[in-house]
């Protein structure tokens, strides 16, 4: 014959009984070994309550223990609501949680995965690019313009970088056109770049020559009329 207190163990362990109901149930425990065993099996649930994370609830609900306990605990609520509706509404929530935690207690050992420590390594330092070596261009006689130039081998020819300085001259404000021209050993001629400048200007010029560096003979800065102002002979 089923004990009339058979469904009160979860509510008792979780403190969901009223004082009068709790007193009656404790007196009953003194005479019922079946209910004492049921209470003992649920005694660990309050301690597990604080150990469950939200992510573990679905896992625990799918366990065998939760499937066995939830119908019983829901029945407990139905019985308790006939006695005292407010207390047993709380019992529904608490006893359902108890079933979840009971399932978690059995399933944690086989589902918890310890993540290995993540190791990081510092990327290798990127070497700082060495600036190209600049060489002074040789000015023609009487030319005040000065310049430095660098030639760098490239996949498709030769890169050229040049910096020119034009001395200040208050009496001459006119700007002039200039050209950087490359000459090859075989008499080839190629314009690298063009620009305009006047007194007091500093100009940086960059460009690419189709000729490979080994085929270059010299580089010249020329005026629009073809007059050569500066020369750099490729060593």
Rounded CA gap, 229 and 208, in Å?
A: 20
Domain that holds residue 57: 9-111
- Predicted confidence at residue 85, as pLDDT, reads 45
160-189 burial, b if ≥16 CB within 10 A, otherwise e?
bbbbbebeeeeeeeeeeebbbbbbbeeeee
Q: Are residues 158 and 203 in the same domain?
A: yes
Q: Are residues 107 and 141 in the same domain?
A: no
Q: Are residues 148 and 221 in the same domain?
A: yes
CATH number where 180 lies: 2.60.40
Indicate if the pLDDT at residue 30 is higher than 90.
no
* C-alpha of 52 from chain center: 29
Rounded CA gap, 221 and 162, in Å?
A: 10
Q: What is the mean pLDDT of residues 20-26?
A: 87
| Beta-carbon count within 10 A of 16 CB | 25
Q: Of 85, 86, 84, 57, whose CA–CA distance to 70 is shortest?
A: 57
- 87 within a domain of the structure (yes/no): yes
Indicate if the pLDDT at residue 99 is higher than 50.
yes
Domain stop point among 76, 111, 146: 111
- 129 within a domain of the structure (yes/no): no
Q: Are residues 46 and 107 in the same domain?
A: yes
Q: pLDDT digits over 166-223, tens only? A: 989 888 788 889 999 999 998 899 999 999 999 999 999 999 999 998 999 999 999 9
Between 26 and 231, the higher pLDDT residue: 231
- 158 within a domain of the structure (yes/no): yes
**Averaged confidence pLDDT in the chain:** 75
- 169 within a domain of the structure (yes/no): yes
- 119 within a domain of the structure (yes/no): no
User: Percent of the chain having pLDDT more than 70?
Assistant: 63
Task: pLDDT band for 159, please (50, 70, 90 cuts).
Answer: very high
Q: Are residues 102 and 141 in the same domain?
A: no
Q: What is the mean pLDDT of residues 122-128?
A: 52
- Predicted confidence at residue 14, as pLDDT, reads 75
Question: Quick check: helix, strand or coil at residue 232?
Answer: strand
Does the CA dihedral 53-55-57-60 come out positive or negative? negative
Q: Are residues 148 and 105 in the same domain?
A: no
- 190 within a domain of the structure (yes/no): yes
Domain stop point among 111, 126, 161: 111
Domain stop point among 111, 144, 164: 111
41-51 burial, b if ≥16 CB within 10 A, otherwise e?
ebeebeebeee
Between 44 and 183, the higher pLDDT residue: 183
**Total domain count for the chain?**
2
Q: What is the mean pLDDT of residues 126-135?
A: 74
76-102 burial, b if ≥16 CB within 10 A, otherwise e?
bbebbeeeeeeebebbbebbbbbbbbb
Backbone angles phi, psi at 181, to 5 degrees: -125, 135
pTM of the model: 0.45
């Amino acid at each position: 014959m089923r004990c009339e207190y058979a469904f009160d163990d979860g509510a008792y362990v979780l403190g969901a009984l009223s004082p009068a109901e709790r007193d009656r149930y404790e007196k009953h425990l003194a005479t019922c070994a079946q209910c004492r065993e049921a209470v003992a099996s649920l005694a660990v649930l309050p301690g597990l309550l604080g150990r469950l994370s939200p992510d573990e609830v679905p896992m625990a609900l799918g366990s065998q223990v939760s499937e066995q306990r939830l119908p019983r605990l829901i029945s407990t609520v139905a019985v308790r609501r006939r006695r005292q509706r407010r207390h047993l509404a709380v019992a529904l929530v608490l006893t359902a949680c108890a079933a979840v935690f009971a399932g978690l207690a059995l399933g944690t050992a086989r589902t918890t995965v310890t993540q290995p420590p993540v190791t990081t390594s510092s990327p290798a330092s990127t070497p700082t690019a060495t600036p190209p070596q600049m060489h002074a261009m040789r000015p023609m006689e009487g030319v005040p313009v000065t310049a430095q130039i660098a030639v760098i081998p490239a996949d498709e020819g030769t890169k050229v970088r040049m910096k020119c300085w034009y001395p200040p001259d208050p009496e001459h404000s006119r700007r002039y056109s200039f050209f950087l021209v490359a000459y090859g050993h075989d008499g080839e001629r190629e314009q690298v770049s063009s620009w305009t400048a006047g007194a007091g200007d500093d100009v940086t010029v960059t460009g690419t020559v189709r000729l490979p560096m080994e085929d270059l003979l010299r580089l010249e800065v020329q005026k629009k009329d073809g007059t050569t102002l500066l020369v750099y002979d490729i060593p």
